[in-house]
A and B are shown apart, each in its own frame.
Chain A
Amino acid sequence: MKQLRRIFERIVEVMLALSGSITTLAIFLIIIFLFKEGLGLFNNSAVEKGYVLCVHPTNPVEQLNPQQIKHLFDSEITNWKEVGGRDEEIMIFRFDEIFSIYSDEELGEDYALLPQKLGEVIAQNSNIIAFLPEKYLPEDRSSMKVLLSGTIDVAAFFGGQEWQPTATPAPQYGVLPLVLGTLWVSLFAILIALPLGLGVAIYLSELAEDRTRKILKPTIELLAGIPSVVYGFFGLVVVVPLIQKTLHLPVGETAFAGSLILAVMALPTIITVAEDSMRNTPRAMREASLALGATSWQTIYKVILPYSSSGIIAAVVLGIGRAIGETMAVLMVTGNAAVMPHSLFESVRTIPATIAAELGETPAGGTHYQALFLLGIILFSMTLIISLSAEFISKRQQRKGVL
């Protein structure tokens, strides 16, 4: 009987230990799955799946990078000379155009003659670039040259300034505008929230009476509990129109609106963490300062603030972390234009908002889907660095507290 119970206790202990590792397991699984879904992107052809770009066989150009392809099809590059070819105007030929050249009868039953006709069109124009489905390529390749388009480039992904995942024939996956947009909105949010939050933290920890604090603290914690979609809704119906009217902007959905809402959302974190660390200042230090004739205010900013500085930094870092990862509120108020941020009063788009807005429309496994998971990895790494540094900073303060 006793032995049975010992075995039972052992089993329970193992189960407890297993559940103790659940959070670690979750983190590893998240990392594994984000990479598993995302990393395939760099093995994919830069041209849309199932399509190829063809040129005249005598054209000296062998390869185009995604950006060149895009500029070419946007008619920003109009001469082959610009991409290393002959001095010849570029003629763009999209697959659909074949149907305006030949009637359905000429293309034969089930479009059996289509590949051959495509070959003829290309052979006739030495300056052509044709964007065709792979399955309609003629078997006889002597009349055309298929361009090597290369795979999606790591450098172009991280350094690219254009995010146009639905552009044809070459989608543009440049994450720079999204990364900068995220940082832009979050940093301004913290710039607004920091003085406010610090002031309230000083008030709560040093000035407020016990009774006031007991009402205020839970109220502020409540602020943290309001769902982000409600903040977004409030931002959309109140803050956005207000910004538009008072600043005379064409649209109110701007980075500034996002920063304001994020500031309010980051306030509780900043206030709570900063206040905790101020209250941890040893009483002896306060009293020593007061005994030397310093006023309360002098004590606050010459003794308490420096003493709790690492706690305050941790508060800021955590606030930034919360702002960077915030999805719904930002999605609803920033307007979501995927451009490099220039001013506070223009629309920007953040990483979380991009994922939330675009993932629903992409087929699983496609390049766009993979690119969104890579964005997830970038976001994950940003917040991981932030929480680790916050941890490191607050550890430093704890150690100081012991001394």
Chain B
Amino acid sequence: MNKKTTQKIAFITFRALGLLVVAILLGILGFIIYNGIGVISWEFLTAAPTEGMTAGGIFPAIVGTLCLVVGSMVFAFPLGVMSAVYMNEYAGNGWVVKFIRVMTNNLSGIPSIVFGLFGMALFVNTLKFGDSILAGSLTLGLLILPLIIRTTEEALKAIPDSYRTGSLALGSSKLQTIRRVVLPMAFPNIITGLILSIGRVSGETAPILFTVAAYFLPKLPTGIFDQVMALPYHLYVIVTSGTDIESSRPIAYGTALVLIAIVLIMNLLATSLRKYFGKKVKTG
């Protein structure tokens, strides 16, 4: 075979593969949206489940997921940003930073179910938080730390050293430089990381199985030691172990759509933020 023909065949194959992967993605999204869009209504979003979770809405699950997102971010966001500031601004490039970086990478590679086990052993059983928003949020917070640290570090790295040396030359201290120059400039990208983390946290099921998630709990939480329902776990429950799997199918589609919508919106928000501020920094 002529080498030009080989090339043509190879390239056509690769283009087809690219198309195929996009088709798979759009297929999954389209399927959920097509089946779920009819279920979404104001009532679906604001009512509690009724009749053995075969009717009614998913309001308690939405509130529960919201609680977990806020809880985990309150814990993980400041800690992650501080950790990244330390690694990028203070620690230099010695073995300490290398070691921490390896550890952070490893933490991000640990399966989410192991976080669930750990959260149950430490927060639920040893510290006696019980199945609670607190235990779930801490578990999810640990899970999301590597992502926050990585995005923050990238944001800090993108700031040219001349800004730092300029500020230091004007007589400000290192901390002042970080607070007044480095952090404000890196802020948009750090926020992007936060938004992506919110998308990730709202979809995680395995870490909350044994630390917070309630099978069915129509009342809303009143404090951080309450159990809550959560969207991903609710979807799992109504798909696999509901009382009447067939008649709860529409609710499953609706819940899946809400979950996907959260992730999509968070991703779009993050990308457009990045684009918007990216342009501003360049022209400014």
> How would residues 317 to 328 of chain A score, 1 for a CB under 8 Å from any chain B CB and 0 otherwise?
010010011111
Residue pair B18, A230 in contact (C-beta under 8 Å)? no
The stretch among A26-34, A65-73, A161-169 that forms the contact with chain B is: A26-34
- What string of 1s and 0s marks CB contacts (under 8 Å) between A189-211 and chain B? 00000011001101110011000
Q: How far is the CA of A355 from the CA of B118 in the complex (A)?
A: 12
| B3: nearest chain-A partner, CB-CB | A295
Please determine whether B90 and A208 come into contact, CB atoms closer than 8 angstroms: no
Query: Which of B21-29, B37-45, B52-60, B221-229 lies on the face that meets chain A?
Result: B21-29
CA distance A22 to B143 in the complex (A): 12
| Residues 13-28 of A contacting B (Cβ, < 8 Å) | 13, 15-17, 19-24, 26-27
Which residues of chain B come closer than 8 Å to A372, judged between CB atoms? 117
Q: Is the CB of A29 within 8 A of B102?
A: no
B6–A297 touching, CB < 8 Å? yes
| Distance between Cα atoms of A298 and B24 in the complex (Å) | 29
Contact indicator A230/B83 (Cβ below 8 Å)? no
Contact of A16 among B90, B116, B196, B260 (CB under 8 A): B90
* B103 partner, pick from A24, A202, A234, A236, beta carbons under 8 A: A24
- Determine the chain B residues whose CB is within 8 A of the CB of A223 once the complex forms: 21, 24-25
The answer for the CA separation of A230 and B256 in the assembled complex, in Å, is 6
Give the distance to chain A from B232, nearest Cβ to Cβ, in Å: 5
**Chain B residues closer than 8 Å to A373, beta-carbon distance:** 117, 121
Total number of residue pairs linking A and B with CB closer than 8 Å: 248
Q: Which residue of B lies closest to A17 (CB)?
A: B86
Assembly CA distance A344 to B240 (angstroms): 22
Q: Which residues of B contact A387 (CB under 8 A)?
A: 105-106, 108-109
Find chain B residues with CB under 8 A from A228 CB: 203, 205-206
Residues of A with C-beta under 8 A to B125: 364
Pick the interface stretch among A92-100, A171-179, A377-385.
A377-385
B259 within 8 A of A: yes
A27–B99 Cα distance when bound, in Å, is: 12
- Which chain B residues (1-58) contact chain A, with CB distance < 8 Å? 3-4, 6-7, 10-11, 13-15, 17-18, 20-22, 24-25, 28-29, 31-32
Tell me if A9 counts as interface (CB < 8 A to partner B): yes
Q: Mark B215-254, 1 if CB is under 8 A from A, else 0.
A: 0000000000000000011011001100000000100100
**B168 proximal to A (CB < 8 A):** no
Tell whether A400 is near chain B: CB-to-CB under 8 Å.
no
Docked Cα-Cα span, A332 to B245, in Å, equals 14
Q: Are A230 and B6 in contact (CB under 8 A)?
A: no
A20, A203, A226: the one within 8 Å of B28 (CB): A226
A30 engages B10 (CB within 8 Å)? no
Assess A359 versus B6: contact at CB under 8 Å? Given A5-B173, A222-B267: no
CA A250 to CA B54, docked complex, whole Å: 28
Given A223-B25, A229-B236, A327-B205, A234 and B107 touching (CB < 8 A)?
A: no
In the complex, are the beta carbons of B203 and A20 less than 8 A apart?
no
Select one of A36, A199, A225, A227 contacting B205, CB under 8 A. Answer: A227
Partner of A386 from the list B83, B109, B173 (CB cut-off 8 Å) is: B109
**Do A219 and B22 touch across chains, with their CB atoms under 8 A apart?**
yes
Nearest Cβ on chain B to A136's Cβ, whole angstroms: 31
A23/B205 contact (C-beta < 8 A), A216-B18, A230-B260, A332-B236 known: no
Q: Is A233 an interface residue (CB 8 A)?
A: yes
- The chain B residue with its CB closest to the CB of A372 is B117
Instruction: Return A361 CB to nearest CB of chain B, in Å.
Output: 11
Smallest CB gap from B206: residue in A: A327
In the complex, per-residue mask of A262-284: 1 if CB is within 8 Å of any chain B CB, else 0: 00100100010000000000000
Whether A227 contacts B204 in the complex (CB less than 8 A), given A298-B3, A355-B113, A360-B210, comes out as: yes
Report yes or no: A325 in contact with B32, Cβ–Cβ below 8 A.
no
Q: Is the CB of A199 within 8 A of B18?
A: yes
A residues within 8 A CB of B199?
A: 225
Q: Is the CB of B83 within 8 A of A19?
A: yes
B79-A325 in contact (CB<8A): no
Q: Is the CB of A227 within 8 A of B14?
A: no
Return chain B residues, CB-CB under 8 Å to A30: 110, 114-115, 118
Query: Which of B18, B100, B114, B232 lies in contact with A229, CB distance below 8 A?
Result: B232
User: Is A391 within 8 A of B252, CB to CB?
Assistant: no
A290 cross-chain contacts in B, Cβ below 8 A: none
Candidates A8, A33, A196, A233; contact of B17 at CB < 8 Å: A196
> Is B82 an interface position by the 8 A CB rule?
yes
Contact assessment for B263 and A352 in the assembled complex, using a CB-CB cutoff below 8 Å? no
Please tell me if the beta carbons of A196 and B14 are within 8 angstroms of each other in the complex: no
How does the 8 Å CB contact mask read for A139-153 relative to B, with 1 for contact and 0 for none?
A: 000000000000000
Cβ-defined partner of B13 (8 Å) among A23, A27, A199, A360: A199
A218: CB under 8 A from chain B? yes
- Beyond A26-B107, A29-B122, whether A199 also contacts B114 by CB under 8 A is no
19 contacts between A and B (CB under 8 A): A5-B173, A12-B175, A19-B83, A24-B100, A199-B13, A203-B14, A226-B28, A232-B239, A234-B31, A318-B109, A325-B112, A325-B113, A328-B236, A332-B240, A356-B209, A360-B210, A376-B118, A380-B111, A384-B110
Which 7 pairs show the lowest CB-CB distances between chains A and B?
Answer: A325-B111, A227-B203, A199-B17, A20-B86, A387-B109, A297-B7, A19-B82
**Other contacts beyond A226-B260, A296-B7: 13, CB < 8 A:** A16-B85, A27-B106, A33-B121, A34-B117, A37-B117, A199-B14, A227-B205, A234-B256, A295-B6, A356-B116, A359-B117, A379-B111, A383-B114
Taking Cβ atoms with an 8 Å cutoff, the residues of A that contact B are 5, 8-9, 12-13, 15-17, 19-24, 26-27, 29-30, 33-34, 36-37, 195-196, 199-200, 202-204, 207-208, 216, 218-223, 225-234, 236-238, 264, 267, 271, 295-298, 300, 318, 321, 324-328, 332, 352, 355-356, 359-360, 364, 372-373, 376, 379-380, 383-384, 386-388, 390-391
